[in-house]
Amino acid sequence: MACPPSFEPYVLTELDHTLPPLHVSGFLTFRLKEPIDAIPVLEAAVARLVHLLPFLGGNVASSTRIPGKKNVLEVQPPSESFWSQHPMLVIKRHDLSIDPGFSSSVVSPDDISNETFLPIGYEFTGVDPVWRFQANVMLDGVIVSFSLNHQALDGAGAMCVIDAFAKCCQNPNSDAASLPTSPETQSKFRKAISGLANASQLTGAPDHSSPTEVASHSVDIDELNQNAHNAVSRKLLLNAEKIKLLRKSCAEQAQPSDQGAPVSGNTIVTAILWICLIRAQFGPDAAGPSPPDLSSVAMVSNFRSKIRPNLPMTYLGNTVGLAWSSFSVEQVLSSISHLNYDSRAAAYMDPQYMKIVAAAANRLQDAVRSISERSVRDLVSEKNAADDWAAQPTIADLHVSSLRHFNLYALDFGSLLGRTSDFDMPESRFAGLAWILPSRGNPQFAPWEVRLTLQPAAMERIQKDPLLRWLSSDVMSKL
């Protein structure tokens, strides 16, 4: 990979421009007897991946390709000097083990999100890579980390890239047809998204019911970055059978007028985290200012199925928005005030807790249902018509994104690497962020794995919450 990739620069879509500058990182763990043997495999795979999908080696930078618009971004090939400084694959050796039984020097999954284990830093410079890998050679395996620019890809896009990477690990001579996507198909899908603006202009007044227009407080991304790195990240394991029980309770409490899909497992888990977070942040044991009247949650919703014709899951760019909802803090606290963090985990779900979670889940599901093809078209059209394409991020008390149904653990990375033993996305920068991680088996039965980031005091309280303790019981034996 001595030479930088070459491709025609392209402007990011209107939906890409709704995302603030943010690097997202993930970690694939492979336990190996001879970790060093993985290096030539990874080098060949990454070289082939960039050959077939060269834009992954590109940079997101300012663009002047749309006259009269400010803050437009494009993906462009890297210069030779930038490519030399930020190659597609970095290799780093660590005198640490993955498993505690191998040595006394162990890397903690909760603390691995520091820049020592990442291919690029968190800070944005104005010219930032689309995607980079780092092979962390441990004493008992390899942890392959990746960092992506969220303005160029969303979560589904990231999973598609990992799929393509796995195929290149299987065969370093993979042809274009073996990969799930190509530069040509990506270009076609980007044009389809931009075409939604014209379609919206032909259909009359905008749809003001769109949850993308629900008010929340805006945030300055530079200020957010300055306050980062103070949070802690922990993985929660939730019992799938108990999540099903809560889904049943939600169905029983749903209004007869409710239309569309019933409450999903993702919505239930989001509601659980939300209610527990309200208690952890604003309950009687929490220090700090008086609680606000309302708490807000934003759940990432995939737009691919809302667009006509549908965009496939193999489209890499951002095709997501936020389903927003709010809940009375006082209503939550008063309904479960009889529960405390010191009580032992109950053998059953407290009826009042089940009731308030169901109410929150049904309210959030209403927000998800309200996202329509029209609201997506209006969102694209609004950005298209704006003179300034800079993102205007808003923030909720909790943001949740789900990768639950991506079959990542079934991916075969070749005869040497095999299947990954663990995939994780620890995040220690921004409190109030949660990733629902891919299922390790059948999503109907496999435990739910959630990566949650909070301020330390809130994390300590939420881990003692009786609801989460009940949901976390009898889980480890099922992993």
Domain membership of residue 207 (yes or no) is no
Q: Which two tokens stand for residue 427?
A: 């995040």
For residue 210, the model assigns a pLDDT of 40
> Do residues 196 and 265 both lie within one domain?
no
Q: How many CB atoms lie within 10 A of CB 201?
A: 13
Q: Quick one: which of 459, 442, 212, 448 has its CA closest to 322?
A: 212
What single letter denotes the amino acid at residue 445?
F
Domain membership of residue 329 (yes or no) is yes
Pairwise CA distance, residues 267 & 273, whole Å: 10
For residue 346, the model assigns a pLDDT of 52
> Do residues 195 and 222 both lie within one domain?
no
Q: Which residue has the tokens 């480890």?
A: 476
> Do residues 242 and 363 both lie within one domain?
yes
Domain membership of residue 5 (yes or no) is no
> Do residues 227 and 314 both lie within one domain?
yes
What single letter denotes the amino acid at residue 93?
R
Cα 263 to chain centroid distance, Å, stands at: 20
For residue 342, the model assigns a pLDDT of 63
Long-range contacts of 83-86 (CB under 8 A, 24+ apart): 83/3, 83/4, 83/57, 86/119, 86/120, 86/129, 86/132
Chain segment 101-116, per-residue pLDDT in tens: 777 788 888 878 788 9
> Do residues 305 and 445 both lie within one domain?
yes
Domain membership of residue 280 (yes or no) is yes
For residue 15, the model assigns a pLDDT of 97
Are 340 and 333 a contacting pair, CB within 8 Å? no
Beta-bridged to residue 160, according to DSSP, are: none
> Do residues 160 and 291 both lie within one domain?
no
Q: Domain count for the chain, please give it.
A: 2
> Do residues 261 and 135 both lie within one domain?
no
Domain membership of residue 2 (yes or no) is no
Q: How many CB atoms lie within 10 A of CB 437?
A: 21
C-alpha distance from residue 322 to each of 13, 149, 224, 285, 472 (Å): 17, 18, 19, 31, 27
For residue 251, the model assigns a pLDDT of 85
Domain membership of residue 205 (yes or no) is no
Q: Which residues of the chain have pLDDT under 70?
A: 1, 199-229, 255-260, 341-348, 476-479
> Do residues 308 and 453 both lie within one domain?
yes
SS3 label, residue 344? coil
Chain segment 17-71, per-residue pLDDT in tens: 999 999 999 999 999 999 999 999 999 999 999 999 999 999 999 999 999 999 9
Q: How many CB atoms lie within 10 A of CB 393?
A: 16
For residue 97, the model assigns a pLDDT of 94
- Boundary residue ending a domain (142, 177, 200): 200
> Do residues 362 and 426 both lie within one domain?
yes
What single letter denotes the amino acid at residue 205?
A
> Do residues 116 and 238 both lie within one domain?
no
> Residue 95: which domain range?
10-200
- Boundary residue ending a domain (200, 233, 251): 200
- Boundary residue ending a domain (177, 200, 223): 200
Q: Where in 277-390 does DSSP place strands (E)?
A: 294-302, 320-328
Q: Which residue has the tokens 């191998």?
A: 102
Domain membership of residue 234 (yes or no) is yes
Pairwise CA distance, residues 76 & 107, whole Å: 36
What CATH number is attached to the domain comprising 287? 3.30.559.10
Domain membership of residue 357 (yes or no) is yes
Supply the Cα-derived Rg of the chain in whole angstroms.
22
Chain segment 418-477, per-residue pLDDT in tens: 999 999 999 878 899 999 999 999 999 999 999 999 999 999 999 988 899 889 877 755
Pairwise CA distance, residues 42 & 35, whole Å: 11
H or E element, residue 401: strand 398-402
Pairwise CA distance, residues 135 & 142, whole Å: 7
> Do residues 220 and 196 both lie within one domain?
no
> Do residues 242 and 185 both lie within one domain?
no
Are 403 and 205 a contacting pair, CB within 8 Å? no
